[in-house]
Amino acid sequence: MDFSLSEVQKMLKREARSFLEKECPSKLVREMEEDTRGYSPELWHRIAELGWTAIPFPEKYGGAGGSFLDLIVLLEEMGRVCLPSPFIPSVILAGLTILDLGSEDQKEEFLPGIAGGGIICTLALLESSDSYEPTAITCQASYDGKGHHIQGTKLFVPDANIADFLLVAAKTRGSSQSEQGITLFIVDSKSQDIGYTLLKTIAGDKQFEVDLDVKVPQTSVLGKVGNAWNSLKKTLERAAVAKCAEMVGATQRILEMTLDYAKERQQFGHPIGSFQAIQHHCANMAMDVESSRLNTYHAAWLISEGLPSSRHVAVAKAWTGEAYRKITALSHQIHGAIGFTKELDLELYIRRAKAAEVAFGDGNYHRKIIAQELGCTTRRKNDRQP
Amino acid sequence: MEFAFTEEEESFRQEVRSFLDTELPADWIMPIVNPAEDSYRDEVWQLHKVMARKMGEKGWLSLSWPKEYGGKEASPVLNAIFQEEVRYRGAPGRDPQGVDMVAPLLIHFGTEEQKRQHLPGIARGEVFWCEGYSEPQVGSDMASVQTTAVDEGDSFIIDGQKLWVSGAHVTDWCHLLARTNPAAPKKHMGLTYFLVDMKTPGITVRPIMDMCGGHGLCEVFFDNVIVPRENIVGQKDQGWEVALALLDFERGVDVGGAAMMRGFFDLLMQYMKEHNLTEDPVIQQHLANIYVEIETARLLGYKVVWLASQGLPTSSQASMSKLFCSEANQRCANAMMRLLGSYGQLTGDSKWATLQGRIGHWYLQAFTATLARGTSEIQRNILAVRGLGLPRS
């Protein structure tokens, strides 16, 4: 049992903290909300130079051979400053999926670029049903003997505007129900036959509707036809924990901001932080931050060690997503009206908290997974006795 | 980072499990929900004493003590594993007063004679302790002790009343705070820490009936009780420092609460599966929610264990763990009662009772969780001031 970070992880954390505090002030975060690209290519380039995008990939593909846990340490720091970047989409959603599922040729073609930051990818998975179940994928891929014709509409695709390639999840025509028929395609994002519409969100991040009516060659099938679901499940687990890590960093920062404010702000001749009503809100926030961190690192450690992780990933995401919302609400209550304004950074976090809570499954979704993991049975319609 | 246990730890866990399989009556579900109350119930007390001796023979009641006092100098992790397995099964025998509080107190503050006199009895599971902190006018404001101890040279004479003394009617010794200097400028000064033999003349114990049908909580009257001078822990008038240290031990390493919840949860899951009650999506949400709470409580508890094993300060983290666990305890007991519906209210006597009515018993016991060992409000104060650096109110 050891709850401490390794020396390498501590170094990475320190490096990320000082770099991001300097290079990603809230001014930049606000500018990027207005920017059509939504990220700073220059900052992205420097992040890649620091080797962060290379962390989880093997050295033979230009990676650094680091662990998933290393990545989590880094993501916590990124979340702390609300870094606008395609890091999770490119490295975790796309990169690690290609590493899992791709042929040797595909890995050699894409991974060095992703690891080096020169290629940006994203994953087009969700559709109008907003469901992470395999049955929710209705986007069709039909094979005509030469290639695949992909038709359908994807929603909430992160950073699709800046991605060079999209990983598109589609149901192969003629395949059986649910998990069996799902195929991932690596699609050139610049194709004329793909339409992009920005979805304006409360967080000002860049999510897109992606309309596909595109023909792709057989070589764009990632791995084999019809076998993507198991890998996608793992991808979603990693992404859920990555999102948790961002939330942990964000909530830690919110707690610090709130404590500073409670010590400075005077009412009735005393700092408001000396009032028990405020102290108890702060204690509740600290408890939620710490429990989110422990659940997140526990899940990340299981993934890093290659141990069964589904249950604890679900625990982490169910807990952390809801804790983030509670923490922002308490912080806002302590800050009072100023928390509602753009004069303070709190609002940046509040607007992102809701997106983070639902990304890669909300609490209800993950509790459903936990129930399945615990052996709860699901009654299917056609199982019902007369 | 490492969330797994070592091979030695895993094999110790197995050893404790098979011990409990052998020693616990098979047809008795969770005899102990709340050690501070259930241990002293008439139907449990005999088994508690028998199992304490057997645990003592194994050396499990003195796991982390120095070898010179009969301990094994084992890591706090082993002690936590033992605590976890015992509470998971609701097993009697591990007296938290002696094992988790008085023993570390004496090891840190006791004289050599006190250690020789008291530690072996705790280690062997033969001597049981109770705690005299609360009084009719002393609750969260723990320093406002009104019980007095007058210095007579070789001895002190104690007069006053203690309240909520768990197990006072059956335990052998009491550790308590009394006021030795009423003229001290501040109320936390002038207190002295005593070890008192409960057989001393002048002590009267009155058990108080509680809403779970137990009488473990007692009120204790001290009328001209003569306590030898060598029974002082630390220095005269310096008892507050000892009491604060003891409170840290008391709140300290506790993975037991989370384990107890998990014990109930596993029993409930088994019951619900056997009765095909797990198909409803709403019920599934509730079950998963309980599971998340338990896992979170366990991680917070083990974080404290790890800090202790590294010799790092645990104080505010222990408050956080206690706070979370006690409140989760109430939320989970309530959630399980709701899952049982009308059946939850039945006591074990009814043929219709579920799990011998133990979840209903737990539900009632859980009301004490946020009061005992410092209320949730006090824990939040500690966390805010000591842990987060907010100014004192």
Please list every residue in chain B whose beta carbon sits closer than 8 Å to the beta carbon of residue A278: 390
How would you label A45-72 residue by residue, b for 16+ Cβ within 10 Å and e otherwise?
A: eebbeebbbbbbbeeebbbeebbbbbbb
pLDDT of residue A180: 78
| Tokens read off for B97 | 């007063």
Q: In the structure encoding, which two tokens stand for residue B4, read together?
A: 């797994």
Q: Which residues of chain A have pLDDT under 50?
A: 383-386
Q: Among residues 187-206 of chain B, which lie with CB inside 8 Å of chain A?
A: none
| pLDDT for residue B314 | 87
Give me A36's structure tokens: 């059509």
CATH superfamily of B7-127: Acyl-CoA dehydrogenase/oxidase, N-terminal domain (1.10.540.10)
Q: Is B3 touching A (CB cutoff 8 A)?
A: yes
**Segments of chain B assigned E as strands:** 129-132, 148-151, 155-162, 173-179, 191-197, 203-207, 218-228, 232-233
Q: Which residues make beta-bridge pairs with A44?
A: none
Tell me phi and psi for residue A153, to 5 degrees: -120, 125
Query: Degrees (nearest 5) of the Cα angle A57, A61, A64?
Result: 40
**Count of residues making up chain B:** 393
**Nearest C-alpha of chain B: how many angstroms from A47?**
25
3-state secondary structure of B258: helix
Residue among A2, A287, A377 minimizing CB distance to B279? A377
B272 to chain A: closest CA residue:
A376
Nearest to B384 among A282, A298, A366 (CB): A282
Residue A207 φ then ψ, to 5°: -115, 145
List CB contacts (< 8 A) between B320 and chain A.
283, 286-287, 290
Estimate the crossing angle of helix A229-264 against helix A68-80, to 10 degrees.
Answer: 40
For B130-242, the fitting CATH number among 3.40.50.300, 3.40.50.970, 2.40.110.10, 2.120.10.10 is 2.40.110.10
- Residue among A262, A290, A378 whose CB faces B320 most closely: A290
**Where are the domain boundaries for CATH 1.20.140.10 in chain B?**
252-387
Overall CATH class of domain B252-387? mainly alpha
B278 reaches A (C-beta below 8 A): yes
Window 148-177 of B: residues touching A by CB (8 A cutoff) are none
Domains of chain A: 7-119 (1.10.540.10), 122-227 (2.40.110.10), 230-373 (1.20.140.10)
Query: Using CA atoms, how far apart are residues B133 and B131, in angstroms rounded to an integer?
Result: 6
Kindly report the nearest CA distance between residue A66 and chain B, in angstroms.
14
Interface confidence, given as ipTM, is 0.94
Count Cβ neighbours within 10 Å for each residue of B277-294 and write b for 16 or more, e otherwise.
bbeeeebbbbbbbbbbbb
The answer to whether B70 and B123 are in contact (CB under 8 A) is yes
Q: Which of residues 317-346 of B touch A (CB under 8 A)?
A: 317, 320, 323-324
> If DSSP codes are grouped into helix, strand and coil, which group holds residue B310?
coil
The SS3 assignment for B174 reads strand
| CB-CB neighbors (< 8 A) of B393 in chain A | 274-276, 279
Q: Looking at chain A, which residue has its C-alpha nearest residue B287?
A: A371
Contact B3 A377 (CB under 8 A): no
Lookup: tokens for A111: 């991974």
pLDDT of residue A377: 84
Check residue A384 and give its pLDDT.
Answer: 45
- Find the residue in A nearest to B302 (Cα): A1
Q: What is the CA radius of gyration of chain B?
A: 21
Two structure tokens written together for A333: 């209550």
Residue of B10, B390, B392, B393 to mutate for A, most A C-beta atoms under 10 A: B390
pLDDT at residue B327, as a whole number:
97
The candidate with the shortest Cα–Cα distance to B143, out of B245, B251, B223, B239, is B239
DSSP string across A193-259: TEEEEEE--TT---EEEEEEEEEEEGGGBSSSTTB-HHHHHHHHHHHHHHHHHHHHHHHHHHHHHHH
Q: Contact B393/A279, CB-based, under 8 Å?
A: yes
Contact at CB, B1 and A273, closer than 8 angstroms:
no
Are B273 and A375 in contact (CB < 8 Å)? yes
Nearest to A319 by CA among A284, A297, A291, A360: A291
Interchain contact, A283 vs B324, CB within 8 Å: no
Start-end ranges of CATH 2.40.110.10 in chain B?
130-242
Would you say B32 and B92 are in contact if contact means Cβ atoms under 8 Å apart? yes
Q: What does the pLDDT read at residue A385?
A: 45
- Closest chain B residue to A297, measured at CA: B1
Q: Which residues of B touch A271 (CB under 8 A)?
A: 391
- 3-state SS, A124-178, equals ECCCCCCCCCHHHCCCEEEECCCEEEEEEEEEEEECCCCCCEEEEEEEECCCCCH
CA angle A172, A174, A175 (to 5 degrees): 65
Distances (CA, A) of A334 to A236, A253, A322, A346: 35, 15, 19, 11
Under 8 Å between Cβ of B357 and B350: yes
Mean pLDDT by 10-residue block, N- to C-terminus, for chain B (393 residues)?
97 98 94 94 95 98 92 94 97 95 94 97 98 95 96 98 97 98 94 98 97 94 98 96 85 88 98 95 97 98 94 90 96 97 95 96 96 93 96 92
Instruction: CATH 1.10.540.10 in chain B: give the residue spans.
Output: 7-127
A287/B324 CB distance under 8 A: yes
Q: Which residue of B has its CA nearest to A317?
A: B292
Contact A374 B379 (CB under 8 A): no
Instruction: Give the pLDDT confidence score for residue A71 in this predicted structure.
Output: 97
**Searching chain B, which residue's CA lies closest to the CA of residue A8?**
B1
Classify the phi-psi angles of A96: left when phi > 0, otherwise alpha if psi is within -120 to 50, otherwise beta.
alpha
A-B contacts (CB, under 8 Å):
150
Using CA atoms in the order B284, B286, B289, B294, what is the torsion angle rounded to 10 degrees? -100
